[in-house]
Structure 1
């Protein structure tokens, strides 16, 4: 979090210095309120062979709301940044085989036990993580269109990553371990989600009126959702989302 605030403070100090030296023209700044809905998943790059079939998928309630400021260097080129709150999540149900995980099983007498190993059966996962995001982007304007691309930095402020496994079995410790039948068991990895995420973003927006715009922005995380030391998921997951939304210009 300290690093994120350091970057924000640096950007403001740079702008203030540029104003003082006459490098930046205040009339070339554009400020927006941005809003949208994030659609996507925390998923691996490529479907691993442990996932045999995706049975269902649905997005979680994942809105995005923020503030953006852009500076026009010319009629076509601009540079922008801002800050926004992003929720990113999903609900997915799949059939897996030898899926590495860590589950909690409750016995008939109420006692709980944990098993780490390779599970085969049905897996159901729900996630919804909230981030404070700082995008930095370059824009190119053509008529009523603006194309943007750059990087983003995000700090986790709330996390949810939980689910259950059922109708299968787990091999304790690995694929050759003791076989334990699993009727139903749960997992909760919210505390294991990395506090910091970064990645690239790219998109396009069309001006609909003097102040309104509508567009799409794709975001691809480059840092795994969980640290490499975490063994609850057998492969790296990355935030991969598309934001459907728009913007409203605050001042002329």
Structure 2
């Protein structure tokens, strides 16, 4: 028993010493104006038209998925007071959603019996969107006291992988024009579509957020990102309106 107690005390002493070393390193880094952080979180949101077009009559379901993120951030604090700072990050993230909607005269290209047919769809649409992104945010930061900081800036994302697939059911397709040949899908029949090859390789937009220092090393973070460009390439015209990526990232971080 005595040996176990001694071992436990040695472990506690080692942990305390390591924590002290990390805290001293953090203070030294802050005094030099540098801050290093690793963040993890989830993206909640989706790709949405702004405003909602008349073609979408009713949104029946929405699932934000579990869109995980991990990010490394370096911040350089400026001036004697170190209230203002500039940060740059490298983020690996997922963005996606699953939606169901009732639409009318909605631009569509379906796969039916091995053939692709384009036209205007009226009925139910289910969409599954997912993108894996490598993102670089560049932000201006401002400290609100010792525990809070806020930030705003821009981000650029490179698509590493992505899918935009789904199905249509309980409706009909008018080929090419609103009065074109009618192809109906009823009694449980459906057709699929796949627009993944038309996803844009680059996204960019604005980001703003804040951080609360819960403990000396641990932080709680929230950031809103709003894309400036469509998730699809500019030459993709099947969907007639832009889908803008809008996400709220919630998570925690560790300051070194």
Under a length normalisation based on structure 2, what TM-score does the superposition of the two structures give? Answer: 0.84
Paired with 1:219 and 1:167, the residues of 2 have a C-alpha distance of 35
Provide the secondary structure at the position in 2 that maps to 1:81. Answer: strand
The CA RMSD over aligned residues, in Å, is 1.3
Question: How many angstroms apart in 1 are the aligned matches of 2:65 and 2:48?
Answer: 15
Q: Which residue of 2 aligns with 1:218?
A: 224
Is residue 233 of structure 1 aligned with residue 235 of structure 2? no
Q: 1: distance between equivalents of 2:233 and 2:201?
A: 10
Quote the residue 1:12 is aligned against: none
Map of 2:121 onto structure 1? 119
**Which of 71, 79, 84 matches 2:91?**
84
Equivalent pairs counted in the alignment come to 221
Structure 2, unaligned runs of 5 or more: 1-29
Residues 1:54 and 2:59 are matched in the alignment:
yes
Residues 51-86 of structure 1: per-residue CA shift (max 9 Å, x gap): 011111011221010100000114311100010101
Shift, 1:204, TM fit: 1.3
Match of 2:109 in 1: 102
Greater Cα radius of gyration, structure 1 or 2: 2
- Which stretches in structure 1 are left out of the alignment for 5+ residues? 1-24, 107-111
1:137-156 correspondence to structure 2 within 5 Å = 137-143=139-145, 144-156=147-159
Whole-angstrom CA distance in 2 between matches of 1:187 and 1:61: 23
Among 163, 170, 175, the alignment partner of 1:172 is 175
Query: In terms of mean alpha carbon deviation, does 121-130 or 220-229 score higher?
Result: 220-229
Query: How do 1:63-78 residues align onto structure 2 when only pairs under 5 Å count?
Result: 63-74=68-79, 75-78=82-85
For residue 228 of structure 1, report the CA deviation from its aligned partner: 2.5
Tell me which residue corresponds to 1:20: none
1:176 Cα deviation after fit: 2.0
Shift >2 Å, 4+ stretches: none
How far does residue 26 in structure 1 lie from its aligned partner after superposition? 8.3
